[in-house]
A and B are shown apart, each in its own frame.
Chain A
Amino acid sequence: MVDFAGYWMPVQFEGIIAEHLWTRESAGFFDVSHMGQLYVTGEGAEAALEAVLPIDLSTLPIGGVRYSLLLNDQGGILDDLMVSRWGQGFYLVVNGATKWDDIATLRELLPDVITLNHLEDSALFALQGPKAYEALEPLVAGEYPLSALTFMRGGRFKLGGVEAWISRSGYTGEDGFEISVPAENAAELADLICAQPQVKPIGLGARDSLRLEAGLPLYGHDMTDTVDPVSADLLFGINKRRRSEGGFPGADVILPLIANGTSTRRVGLAIEGRMAAREGAKVLSGETEVGTITSGGFSPSLERPIAMAYVAADCATAGTQLTIDVRGRKLAATVVPMPFVPHRYHRKGAA
């Protein structure tokens, strides 16, 4: 157990590699109740949120889920978040470590007529993996079947008889669900899901190795308030209409970067050998320092070390050979496209 964002959380249950591989093969259960769940309502909430986030809400249907970014005026990333349209307002999920700052930022930027509720009485679970659907489906009931949800769509269901918001989304690259339930029912519902034969509980260690393989950045490591979304390769968090219209915090800085490019770029690195390179290790091209590792570790699925790094733009092309200095040892690395392990989302229209 470790202190993480003020919560006591498990690093592992039976072992990081076993939990990681179980999630890739079956279904892993994550208690992510440390994350911030917010609800934005009020007259003009849509326009107010668009003034704060680079999101296009006009194309987000009820039940739709979209990735977005909370930016500062300098174009730095304050947090990344998920935004869902509910019937009467917008449901936001933000990182646990940043939620208090996010709430302060949103409260400052949103007009007074907009209500910002922190859903502190809600717990949040993730159930991820190729068998997540078959594990969850028998436990839910609703106006429509769970199969109606495709990737990045959510809806209201009863889970074990309890009201739940379930979206088909996650942070592992696998098919799966994120499930918001009343905190008072959290323990019984966690037990209910974990009693399914496909499901095992998963700790923070495997959550990190799974998201790294999926190429998904971790706030505070792979993006910070001094990194812009273009360098971070997170342009999908700035919806197309907003790239042309602007009108969000940091737009004056970010829009020229979209047009002209950035000096550094977040890339994936596949590392030779077995030794892992971790956050802070320097990346070299020949003898010249060209970047820094922001996340790295051993990939249980690929059985080799992988990493994310920010490198100079002219070293960011896939296939570029670089070296990493790990405490004086030079590791050979190649820039590779991310994700390292293919995503297996259940997309609309797919079989």
Chain B
Amino acid sequence: MTRYFTKDHEWIAVEGDEATVGITDYAQSQLGDITFVEVPGEGSEVSMGDSASVVDSVKAASDVYAPVSGKVTVANAALEDQPELVNTDPEGDGWLWKMTLSDPAELDGLMDEASYQAFIAEL
């Protein structure tokens, strides 16, 4: 499984042509207490860069963009009652949705873990 990162602080963990998407620990730390997560509808098609989800914190509402194009297969239903999972385990149980990839080549434009850590170190 390979994990990629975007400049908008999403992560995407890819295994074959399936992937899991969430926001990074850095993102959740910036948002503060998360009070609501709107996940995309299962079966919906997303294009790279689309606003696919909204994460609402006590401070502000933030869009979560699709890191790549594809079809949403599963949304994380646990977030309905426990949006705070995105704070406590953003890169694990706080995942947002799973998707299939329509164009795996889009992953080439994303960062790996080391590049992302270097990116946020500059922020």
Binding site for B on A (CB under 8 A): 11-12, 15-18, 205, 209, 273-276, 278, 297-298, 300, 305, 326-327, 329
Q: Which residue of A is nearest B38, CB measured?
A: A275
Q: Given contacts A274-B83, A275-B38, A278-B61, is CB(A298)–CB(B56) below 8 Å?
A: yes
Contact of A17 among B54, B56, B58, B60 (CB under 8 A): B58
Q: Given contacts A16-B32, A205-B32, A275-B36, is CB(A300)–CB(B58) below 8 Å?
A: yes
State the CA gap A315–B98 with chains docked (Å). Answer: 43
CB-CB under 8 A from A298, the residues of chain B are 35-36, 56, 58
CB distance B32 to A274 under 8 Å?
Answer: no
CB distance A276 to B35 under 8 Å?
Answer: yes
Residues 56-77 of chain B, each 1 if its beta carbon lies under 8 Å from chain A, else 0: 1011110000000000000000
CB distance A15 to B36 under 8 Å?
Answer: no
Question: Could you give 22 example pairs across A and B, Cβ below 8 Å?
Answer: A15-B32, A15-B33, A16-B32, A16-B33, A16-B58, A16-B59, A17-B33, A17-B58, A205-B32, A274-B56, A274-B83, A275-B36, A275-B38, A275-B54, A275-B61, A276-B35, A278-B61, A297-B58, A298-B36, A298-B56, A305-B36, A329-B38
Scoring A15, A209, A274 by chain B CB atoms within 10 A of each residue's CB, the highest score goes to A274
Q: Which residue of B is nearest A16, CB measured?
A: B58
State the CA gap A326–B60 with chains docked (Å). Answer: 12
CB-CB under 8 A from B36, the residues of chain A are 273-276, 298, 305
CB distance A276 to B61 under 8 Å?
Answer: yes
CB distance A12 to B35 under 8 Å?
Answer: no
The 3 A-B pairs at the shortest CB distance, nearest first, are namely A274-B36, A298-B35, A16-B58
CB-CB under 8 A from A273, the residues of chain B are 36
CB distance B35 to A274 under 8 Å?
Answer: yes
Q: Which residue of B is nearest A20, CB measured?
A: B58
CB-CB under 8 A from B32, the residues of chain A are 11-12, 15-16, 205
CB-CB under 8 A from A305, the residues of chain B are 35-36
State the CA gap A17–B35 with chains docked (Å). Answer: 10
Binding site for A on B (CB under 8 A): 32-33, 35-36, 38, 54, 56, 58-61, 83
Given contacts A205-B59, A275-B54, A298-B35, 17 further A-B contacts (CB under 8 A): A11-B32, A11-B59, A15-B33, A16-B33, A17-B33, A205-B32, A209-B58, A274-B35, A274-B36, A275-B38, A276-B56, A276-B61, A298-B36, A300-B33, A305-B36, A327-B54, A327-B61
State the CA gap A297–B33 with chains docked (Å). Answer: 12
State the CA gap A278–B61 with chains docked (Å). Answer: 9
B5 to chain A, nearest CB (A): 25
B88 to chain A, nearest CB (A): 12
State the CA gap A18–B56 with chains docked (Å). Answer: 17
State the CA gap A327–B63 with chains docked (Å). Answer: 11
CB-CB under 8 A from B58, the residues of chain A are 16-17, 205, 209, 297-298, 300
CB-CB under 8 A from B35, the residues of chain A are 274, 276, 298, 305
State the CA gap A339–B68 with chains docked (Å). Answer: 45
CB-CB under 8 A from B83, the residues of chain A are 274
CB-CB under 8 A from B59, the residues of chain A are 11, 16, 205
CB-CB under 8 A from A275, the residues of chain B are 36, 38, 54, 56, 61
State the CA gap A305–B60 with chains docked (Å). Answer: 12
State the CA gap A326–B54 with chains docked (Å). Answer: 11
CB-CB under 8 A from B61, the residues of chain A are 275-276, 278, 326-327
CB distance B33 to A278 under 8 Å?
Answer: no
Q: Which residue of A is nearest B60, CB measured?
A: A278
Q: Which residue of A is nearest B51, CB measured?
A: A327
State the CA gap A297–B59 with chains docked (Å). Answer: 8
Scoring A11, A16, A273 by chain B CB atoms within 10 A of each residue's CB, the highest score goes to A16
State the CA gap A275–B7 with chains docked (Å). Answer: 25
State the CA gap A261–B64 with chains docked (Å). Answer: 44
CB-CB under 8 A from B33, the residues of chain A are 15-18, 300
Q: Which residue of A is nearest B84, CB measured?
A: A17
State the CA gap A275–B90 with chains docked (Å). Answer: 19
